[in-house]
Structure formats: structure tokens, C-alpha cells
Structure 1
Amino acid sequence: MSDALLAIEPGLAGLAPSVGDHLRGLRGPLHERILATVRAAMAAQGRSLTGGQGQGLALGVQTAVDTFVDAVADPGRELTGTREVFHALGRTEYREGHRVDALRTVLTLGARDIWAFLVEHATAPAAPGGPATAPAGTDPGPAPADLYVIAGALFGYVDALAGAAAEGFLAEQRDTAQDWATTRRRLVTLLVQPDPPTGAALHAAADAARWPLPATVAVFSVDGTDAEQVARSIGAGALAAVVGDAIRVVLPDPGTPGRLDRARQALVGRRAALGPTVRRQRARLSYRLSRRALALHQLGALGPDPVVSCDDHLLTLLTAWEPGLAGHLAGTVLAPLAGLRPTTRRALAETLYGWLRRQGQVVTVAEDLHTHPQTVRYRMRQLRGLFGPALDDPDARLLLTLALRQHPTGEPDRSGDG
């Protein structure tokens, strides 16, 4: 907004001082006229001037009228204070749930009525061949030429006030959105932090976020940073915030019929991992599993589907939980194969893995490997010579199964990522 009315309408500099004096003399009736107009405009919007915002708007209208009248008389004076008043009114408009153009409508109607009022109190038109005259006993108002200058100043002034109000409205909208994002992120962080919060702290955070605490939750980890958009697309009270390097979505009561399906549908086109449904107090478990699953998914370890469920990949999560651990496990339990030629090691590893999975059913293993049962028996004799009693120990067999599942050729990955 311009700092002075003169910047809006330079023609004000040419007005006679009597024009400003005339407008100042009309200040009282002008207040009453414009307040009546504003009251009617607000009533049409289902509002009144009796509430907090109504009283603030009434004061703002009075301030706007006073500033305009004084600025016509002194067009170089600053309008900053009035601009700040309407900036604040715009913020209040947003807080009270009104539309961004509601205040502009009131201002436009008020400006039209000010103009009509000034015209009514203007100098009467001149008779043919004679000077302009005013009604008997009245103060001669602005001449028509002066009115055109005042009109330009008036409507430019009202546009400037409406602009200040719109800026305030948008500023409050932006600040509120930031506050909500902070509030929601604080609640998500509380739900998934290592140390469970006290009941009072959690309930206070949930109340601040206007989020009814559910009995159960499931946590999605989703690629991206547009948490608010993801939460809106999922709906159903989903709570989302960026935590770490991804979006974490807390879905309340995921057992509600159709809720998980709708959430998956909303995530089409995104890479995401769904943690298990747990009691609210164990939300961190769902969060940790989904976080690790998303990291593995990004490495291509969980298959081609964009949205995966942790419950469908528990064994992969277990064996790959700590980077490097699976490689260390394989390097330890598959050590008897380390000194063999690559082709021999591969053949024995495939046979041992098949034998473990098929619980020693030689014929079935042979069918799986497309080889003769005698070949399987021969290889198993070699393996018993290498592994000895470990092949009959349940715990050792479990470790061998896990190691070979990650490294079916028998040669551990030495990259350190397991």
C-alpha cells in the first residue's frame, strides 16, 4: 500500500483547502451513514457489528473514514497506521472463518456510499451561463471537477485497504498452516519416540492437534516431503509429518473396514511401506518397521509393488535389520564352503538350501534342482563332511537357512551391507 493518499491520486495537490475543510465538517454524519451501510452489508453475510470482529470492523471503518477525510485535506500524510488496522482485520477474518473477499465486499459497498454521500453534498450544478450554486444555507461542497479527483483517491484508497486486509488474511492462513504443521509433527513425534510420553502430555498434544486418540494405529513410511497433501489424500483422520528423510503417516484404527484399502489407493504412484497394526502405545514398533522396510524397498529388496506391507516381509526385515549383520552371519556359518571352487561351492550351497527347506526329502530336492537324487545324496555326503554335526542341530540349521536365504551361492557379500 502507498504511504500517502497523494501517491494514489496526485490530483489532490490541486484541491483548494476549503475542500478538505468541507469534508472534515461532514465527518459525523459520514460515520453514521457508512456504519449503517456496513451493518447492512454484514447482515447480508449473516454477521453483526456486536461481536468482537464486528466491533473491530466498526472501529476500522471509523478509522478509514477519518483517515480519508484528513488525507484529502493533507494528502501527504502517511496511511501506514490505517493499513495496519486493515491488515489486522484481515487476520481476524481468517481466524473467524470468513472468506477472503468478504471484507472487500464490505469495503466496496462502503466506498460507493461515501461517494454517494459526497455527491449529495456537492455544489449544485451551474445554471446556463451562471456560476455553480449550493443550496441556501448550506456549505458549498466540492465542485464537479474536484469530485472526480476525490473519486479517484477514494476508490484507490479502498483498494489499498482491501489489499492490506487480503495480505493479513493470507498471512494468518500461512501462519496457521505452519502452526498446524508444527502441532501435528509434535504429536507424530510423541507417538513414535523411544520413550512413551506420559498420558497427560499425549492427551494435551492430541487435543492441540484436534486428533481423537485411537485405540490402534498403523504407521506408513512414504517417499516425499508433502506430508499435508498425503494426509489429505488418505483422509480418515490420518496424521502425517516429515520425520527423518520421509513422510510418516499415523493411520488411526486401521481395522476399520476399508480404511487400509483406501489408504493404499491414495498412495498409488508413491513408494511406501505399511507397518503393522498395533496398540497406540506401541506406535513406535509400527514406525520402526515401516521405516526400515521403506529403506529396503528403496534398495529394491522388497519386490516391485510400490506399496508394501511389513507383515509380508517379516523374514527379510529380520535378516536385514542391521546392515552388515546378514553378511557376517553368512560369513560365519558358511565358512566350511569358503575354500571350495566357485562352481562346487554354488552347487553344494544350492543343494544344502534345498535340503534344509524340504526337510531332508532328497527326491523333492532333486526335482527342485532338476538333477538326479543320487547327485543330491552325493552332495549331502560332501556337506556332512564339511559341516559335521551342525546339520543335525536345530539352531545351526536355522542359522544355515537364514544365511543361505540371503546368500544362496554360499559366498557372502563382503560390501558390509548384508
Structure 2
Amino acid sequence: MARRTARRGGGDDPHALELSPHAASAMRSELPAVADRTVAAIIDEVPSYADALSGPMGETIRSAVQLALGTFLNLATRSDRGTPMAPALEGAYQLGRGEARSGRSMEALLAAYRIGARVSWRDMSRTVVEQGMAAEDLSLFAELVFAYIDELSAASAAGHTEELERTGRVRSRNLERLARGLLTDQPADAVVAAAERAGWEPPAGLTAVLLPEAHVRQVLSHVDERTLAPTEDVPGAVEGTGLLLVAGPTTKAARARLLGALKGLDAVVGPTVPWLEVATSFERALQCRRLELPGTVDSEEHLAEIVLTSDRNALADLRVAVLAPLDGLRPSAVEKLTETLRSWLLHHGRREDIAADLFVHPQTVRYRVGQLREAYGDRLEDPRFVLEATIALGIASSGPESPT
């Protein structure tokens, strides 16, 4: 008659099972071989571990398997159910963290656990049966094995998740610091060091894009993954407006794709500049936004307006000075002569072109130009005055509301 190799445990747990020392000794002697077979099965069945387990990582996993199985045997052979699981659980937790740092998914590790449970159960069950375990105890033994593996899996999953969250938080903070350094003109060596700490590979160029904050995530899915999306301490930030420092685009075609990704949004796109100079792209985008143009705006197409409105107070003063000779006339007359002077400057005095621009008869143009010559005299032939008047009046009808 086969000797009994297990007995029901006492205490509060009706499912407790305690292996006899003789059976446990036989199983413990098998641990190195079980660990080897487990590692071999994982290598064979989980592609992510095909190379990882052939070197030092393989020894780490093999040791972890032996530790886990050894802890299980200690639990299964002691009547004291308080046998500590902490070392095995801590090992599983750290294993999960290590896998996250290695870039492997939790799915791969859970697959390894499932394979480990299968191989371990197959080998251990064979051993306890050979040692005479009664049939009624075999199912309970299986429950204990797989419940134990579940606890280890949960510990690894917790470690994996926490490491991803921690490294994600750290990298996000480093990327925020990098963006702040770029936008506040910190020394180049400090910004380069910040990029290294963030694990961020600098692109050839960066492009500042202002857009509705609610659409930042949507646009991020269409641009280079190195794109920065700062949210903290953005200079000149306006509530509801987000900022992207888009990696690239460095070609006309790439810029067109970026503008296409922004289609339908009230967005402003700055120029593409070397990555360390992106503060200038950001400043240009801010200046362009002040033009209050609708839709998606390419700042490169509005350089003249940006230049003319970069100092609105100076532009307003210049406008007042240029129109001073018209002081004293009726407001309606000032308005007509101002638009005539602007068109005269832009069309180089060509009467027919001016008439078409203003939708008036050429004789009306001749009359108004005569009034202008009476008011301004020889100044209309002075290159300096022509330059100042062109600047003062040049965007009166194509830009935002004229300064007054």
C-alpha cells in the first residue's frame, strides 16, 4: 500500500494541503531540472524571450523560477501557514519592473508565467504521484500550484505597471523641462543635456504650432513621435490654446502634410527652424496669431503683415504722421483720399489700375490724386515719404483692423 504523501492542513483554511517531507524532498531535488525545462519552454514558445533568456537574463529567470518553486514547497510542507511569501513576491514584483525597463510587454511575461505553471505542474504532479499522493489530494494540489502562480503573476503585473507609470512620469517631466528650456532661450548646452535626460533624439528642425487645446491629442497622432507638447509654464500661453513643437517638417511636401493635418482648425503654424532655435518659431506664431486670421494660417504666407504689425503703436503713430496733411477735411473725404493714396502707392500711380481697385471712374481717380497733390505737394515724389506711407497704409484692407 502506497504511503500517504500529503495531509489536509488544519486551521481556518479547509483547502490547505501539506506535502510530506519525503515528497517535498523529492520535488526539491528536481527544482534545477524543472527550472531548465521551464526556461527552455519559454524560449521556445514566447518570441519576445528568444534572445533575452540566452544570456544573463536566462540565469535571472532560472533563479527566479527556483526561488518561486522553493517558496511554494516551503509553504506546502509547513503546518505553520504563516511561512513568508514576501521574498518570492518581491522577486516577481522586481521582475515585472525589469521587464518594463527592457521594453517588453506584460503580455509576454504573463505568457511566460502560464508556460511556467504548465511545465511546473506537469513535473511536480508526476513527482507527487510517484511518491504516492492520493487521488483525492491531487486536485487540491493543482489548486495550490495555480493559485500561487496567480499571486506571482499579480505581483509582476503590479511591478510592470508601476515602472511604466514611474518612467512615464519622469520622462514627461523631463520633456516639459526640455520644452521650457527651448522656449526660454536657455544656453544650448543646458538644453542638449535636458534632451539627453529625457531620452529625446533631436530632429533636424522644429515647428511651433498654436491650436485649440482640445485638438492637441488628435494632431499628435499625425505628426512625428518626437513632437513636444508642453503644457506647463508656456510663455504667452492663452487659455484654451495648446502648443506643439512639431518635429520637422523640413520639406515643402512635409509642411503641406502638416497643414493638411490641421485643416479645419483655427491653428497658426510658425516657420521650421533648427531645433535649438524653436523659440523664434514660437514667437513668430504668436505674432501671426495677433493678425486674427481665420482657419489654419501658415505664418510664412503673412510675413509682411507680421512685420508691419510687430509694433502696433509705432505703426499707429506712423499712420497719423502720414495722414497729417489731410487734417481738417471731412471724415468722408479723409476716408476716400486715404484709400486713394494707398492704391496710388501700391499701383505706382497707374490710373486705370487704381480705378479698377477702387471701383471708380478713372476721372474720379484723377480728381482725387489732384487733391492729394494739393495736400502733400512734393512729398509724393520723396522716396522716404513713399516708403513710410506704403508701410503705414500697406495693410489697411488686407490685415486686421487698422490702427487709429
Alignment TM class, shorter chain as reference: 0.7 to 0.9
Written as runs of structure 1 = structure 2, the 5 A alignment for 1:368-379 is 368-379=357-368
Give the letter aligned to residue 208 of structure 2. Answer: F
Partner of 1:127: none
1:88 is aligned to 94
Over aligned residues, Cα RMSD in angstroms? 3.9
- Structure 2, unmatched stretches of 5+, are 1-9
Which residue among 137, 144, 162 is the counterpart of 1:153? Answer: 144
Deviation at 1:351, TM superposition (A): 1.3
Question: What's the offset of the Cα at 1:291?
Answer: 3.6
* Distance across 1 between alignment mates of 2:38 and 2:99: 15
Alignment partner, residue 209 of structure 2: 221
Q: Is the 8 A contact 2:68 2:88 kept in 1?
A: yes
User: Partner residue of 1:247?
Assistant: 243
Residue 178 of structure 1 and its aligned partner are, at CA, apart by 3.8
1:66 paired with 2:70, answer yes
> Which segment is superposed worse, 64-73 or 380-389?
380-389
Say whether residues 1:284 and 2:274 are aligned partners. Answer: no
Q: 1:222 Cα deviation (Å)? A: 3.8
2:201 is matched with 211
1:71/1:265 CA distance change after superposition, 3 Å: farther
| Structure 1 residue 89 displacement after superposition | 0.9
Match of 1:39 in 2: 39
Residue matched to 1:53: 57
Taking structure 2 as the reference length, what is the TM-score of the superposition?
A: 0.76
Rounded Cα–Cα distance in structure 2 between residues aligned with 1:367 and 1:393 = 26
Distance in 2 of aligned mates of 1:207 and 1:385: 68
Task: Output the CA distance in 1 between the equivalents of 2:179 and 2:317.
Answer: 35
Unaligned 5+ runs, structure 1: 1-9, 124-134
Q: How does 1:348-387 map to 2 (within 5 A)?
A: 348-387=337-376
Aligned residues: 379
Partner of 2:309: 320
Indicate the residue corresponding to 2:290 in structure 1: 296
Amino acid of the structure 2 residue aligned with 1:84? E
**1:180 CA drift (Å):** 4.0
> Cα distance, 1:314 vs. partner?
0.4
Shift, 1:93, TM fit: 1.4
Residues 96 and 158 of structure 2 are in contact (CA less than 8 Å); yes or no, is this contact kept in structure 1? yes
TM-superposed CA distance for 1:162, in Å, is 1.7
Aligned to 2:223: 234
Q: Quote how far apart the aligned CAs of 1:83 are.
A: 2.9
1:115 corresponds to 2:121 = yes
Q: Does residue 163 of structure 1 match 2:135?
A: no
Instruction: Tell me the distance in 2 between the aligned counterparts of 1:352 and 1:56.
Output: 84
| 8 Å CA contact 1:188, 1:239 repeated in 2 | no
Q: Distance in 1 between matches of 2:11 and 2:122?
A: 20
AA of the residue aligned to 2:362: P
Matched with 2:335 is 346
Cα displacement string for residues 168-195 of structure 1 (whole angstroms, at most 9, x for unaligned residues): 2233333334444444454455455435
CA distance 1:340–1:193, change in 2 (3 Å): same
In the alignment, the residues of structure 1 paired with residue 375 and residue 401 of structure 2 have an alpha-carbon distance, to the nearest angstrom, of: 17
Q: Which amino acid aligns with 1:68?
A: F
Normalising by structure 1, report the TM-score.
0.74
Deviates more, 1:154-163 or 1:332-341: 332-341
Q: Could you tell me how far apart the structure 2 residues matched to 1:85 and 1:252 are?
A: 44
Check conservation: 1:31, 1:62, Cα contact below 8 A: yes
Counterparts of 1:96 and 1:404, CA distance in 2: 63
Alignment of 1:14 onto 2:18: no
Q: Which amino acid aligns with 2:63?
A: L
State the alpha-carbon separation in 2 of the partners of residues 274 and 376 from structure 1: 40
- Which amino acid in the other structure matches residue 109 of structure 1? I
How far did residue 352 of structure 1 move?
A: 1.6
Alpha-carbon displacement from aligned partner over 1:224-258 (angstroms, at most 9, x marks no partner): 568787566323x7542326243332444714x74
Measured against aligned partners, the alpha-carbon deviations of 1:50-88 in whole angstroms (never above 9, x if no partner) come to: 634333323322332233233344445564543332222
For the 8 Å contact 1:222–1:270, the answer to whether it is kept is: no
SS class of match (2:13): helix
